């Protein structure tokens, strides 16, 4: 594996970083935080694993063949649509390597975990997953987020990877993004001349796609104060115990009116069963205002299954994923109830 050539820019402030993003947008620019995902994405195999194919040319009128030097596509216009041609595949700007990386390592204000005066929690986007994993405050009150951090990558990855990077990558299975949605997290996006707040569930648009603008940086994640008698939990189902992308991830936050009482509020977020993490809104209709007994929790798990949109892939079938959404949601709801009751 080899890395392409690129320049590294090291801004001294958030404002300077935003300006660098805007100024280099036409050249191709990416943000560098922990780098655990970015550097893997930038690596190119010495021997390409996916050879572009000719979809039609004078030499290969039927197309669908691996392109070689005798393909007329090299010297003539393709007969097929431009987005299917060899020439376009080789010049695809989406797969082109960035000309520069804007490193955020000097921006100390983007790091840290702070309990706010209003009882909420602020986490800087450059805070490492290890710091989250080891935070007593987070594990005690925002438990699902700590459990998400527990399950992310390996110790080496957690030491480098950041909360902001894991969320900003917009992967449907991201281990901190799913709990952040269940815990009503909100993201602060800062640009050259403005700042805006975006609920975590509204941030991703699809795999790898977000609402963030070219000159914006995710600077912090805020979590609201948790009411009394509330608890949360997260579980990641994988084929291996570590260094694996989840097949299904479920995060639950639940609040009771009192120990043993009715459900006051609940949020369930599902990972890896849709193009983005999914808020299982149907669960609220089943649980709120009810005693969370076995029967009601069973119905809530069924409601979560109805909200999921899994696909078949090499990690598991859509059918199996759907069954696991029900099973894991049921377990996490029971665990969240126990934690809400202080057990």
Residues of the chain with CATH 3.30.465.10: 113-223
Q: If you average pLDDT over every residue of the chain, what do you get?
A: 88
CB atoms within 10 A of CB 332: 26
With 60 as the cut, is the pLDDT of residue 236 above it? Answer: yes
Least confidently predicted of 49-63, 68-82, 132-146, 316-330: 68-82
Average pLDDT (206-225) is 96
> For residue 72, what pLDDT band results from cuts at 50, 70 and 90?
low
With 60 as the cut, is the pLDDT of residue 151 above it? Answer: yes
pLDDT at 13: 95
Least confidently predicted of 14-18, 39-43, 79-83, 336-340: 79-83
Distance CA 193, CA 190 (A): 8
Average pLDDT (137-144) is 97
User: Going by CATH, does the domain composed of 230-340 fall within 3.40.630.10?
Assistant: no
Distance CA 14, CA 191 (A): 9
Least confidently predicted of 23-32, 158-167, 228-237: 23-32
* Total residue length of the chain: 343
Q: Where are the alpha helices (DSSP H) in the chain?
A: 14-23, 38-42, 86-90, 129-134, 136-141, 143-150, 155-160, 163-168, 177-182, 282-287, 294-307, 318-340
Least confidently predicted of 52-56, 157-161, 226-230, 335-339: 52-56
More confident residue, 241 or 20: 20
Average pLDDT (253-258) is 98
CB atoms within 10 A of CB 142: 25
User: Can you tell me which residue has the tokens 């901190």?
Assistant: 176
Residues of the chain with CATH 3.30.390.50: 230-340
Residues of the chain with CATH 3.30.43: 7-44+97-103
More confident residue, 92 or 139: 139
pLDDT at 43: 76
With 90 as the cut, is the pLDDT of residue 281 above it? Answer: yes
pLDDT at 64: 56
Structural fold of domain 113-223: 3.30.465
With 80 as the cut, is the pLDDT of residue 181 above it? Answer: yes
With 80 as the cut, is the pLDDT of residue 317 above it? Answer: yes
> For residue 217, what pLDDT band results from cuts at 50, 70 and 90?
very high
Percent of the chain surpassing pLDDT 70: 84
> For residue 45, what pLDDT band results from cuts at 50, 70 and 90?
low
Are the beta carbons of 316 and 323 closer than 8 angstroms?
Answer: no
Q: Find the Cα–Cα–Cα–Cα dihedral 211, 41, 83, 25, rounded to 10°.
A: 50
With 60 as the cut, is the pLDDT of residue 75 above it? Answer: no
With 90 as the cut, is the pLDDT of residue 343 above it? Answer: no
Distance CA 25, CA 230 (A): 44
> For residue 56, what pLDDT band results from cuts at 50, 70 and 90?
low
Nearest to 334 by CA among 310, 300, 304: 300
> For residue 291, what pLDDT band results from cuts at 50, 70 and 90?
very high
> Please, what is the angle between helix 318-340 and helix 294-307, to 10°?
140
With 60 as the cut, is the pLDDT of residue 70 above it? Answer: no
Structural fold of domain 7-44+97-103: 3.30.43
Nearest to 165 by CA among 36, 18, 10, 8: 36
Distance CA 92, CA 1 (A): 20
Q: Find the Cα–Cα–Cα–Cα dihedral 154, 160, 163, 169, rounded to 10°.
A: -80
The tens digit of pLDDT for each residue in 319-342 reads 999 999 999 999 999 999 999 999
> For residue 306, what pLDDT band results from cuts at 50, 70 and 90?
very high
Q: Global pTM?
A: 0.85
Are the beta carbons of 152 and 161 closer than 8 angstroms?
Answer: yes
With 60 as the cut, is the pLDDT of residue 267 above it? Answer: yes
CA distance readout (Å), 300 to 217, 294, 327? 37, 10, 11
CA angle 40, 156, 46 (to 5 degrees): 25
Average pLDDT (87-95) is 43
């Amino acid at each position: 594996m080899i890395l392409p050539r690129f320049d590294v820019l090291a801004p001294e402030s958030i404002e300077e970083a935003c300006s660098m993003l805007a100024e280099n947008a036409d050249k191709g620019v990416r943000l560098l935080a922990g780098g655990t995902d970015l550097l893997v994405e930038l690596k190119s195999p010495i021997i390409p694993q996916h050879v572009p194919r000719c979809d039609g040319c004078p030499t290969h009128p039927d197309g669908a063949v691996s392109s070689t030097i005798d393909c007329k596509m090299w010297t003539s216009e393709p007969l097929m649509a431009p987005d299917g041609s060899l020439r376009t595949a080789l010049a695809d700007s989406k797969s082109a390597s960035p000309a520069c990386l804007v490193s955020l390592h000097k921006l100390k204000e983007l790091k840290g975990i702070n309990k706010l005066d209003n009882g909420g929690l602020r986490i800087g986007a450059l805070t490492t997953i290890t710091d989250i994993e080891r935070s007593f405050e987070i594990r005690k009150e925002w438990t699902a987020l700590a459990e998400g951090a527990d399950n992310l990558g390996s110790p080496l990855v957690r030491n480098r990877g950041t909360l902001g990077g894991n969320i900003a990558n917009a992967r449907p299975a991201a281990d901190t993004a799913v709990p952040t949605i269940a815990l009503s997290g909100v993201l602060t996006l800062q640009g050259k001349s403005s700042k805006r707040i975006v609920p975590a569930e509204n941030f991703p648009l699809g795999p790898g796609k977000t609402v963030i603008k070219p000159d914006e940086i995710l600077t912090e994640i805020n979590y609201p104060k948790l009411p009394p008698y509330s608890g949360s939990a997260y579980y990641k189902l994988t084929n291996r115990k570590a260094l694996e992308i989840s097949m299904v991830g479920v995060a639950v936050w639940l609040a009771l009116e009192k120990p043993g009482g009715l459900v006051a509020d609940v949020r369930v977020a599902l990972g890896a069963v849709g193009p983005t993490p999914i808020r299982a809104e149907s669960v609220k209709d089943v649980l709120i205002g009810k005693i969370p007994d076995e029967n009601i929790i069973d119905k809530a798990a069924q409601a979560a299954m109805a909200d999921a949109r899994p696909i078949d892939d090499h990690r598991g079938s859509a059918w199996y994923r759907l069954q696991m959404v029900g099973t894991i949601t049921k377990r996490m709801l029971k665990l969240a109830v126990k934690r809400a009751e202080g057990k």
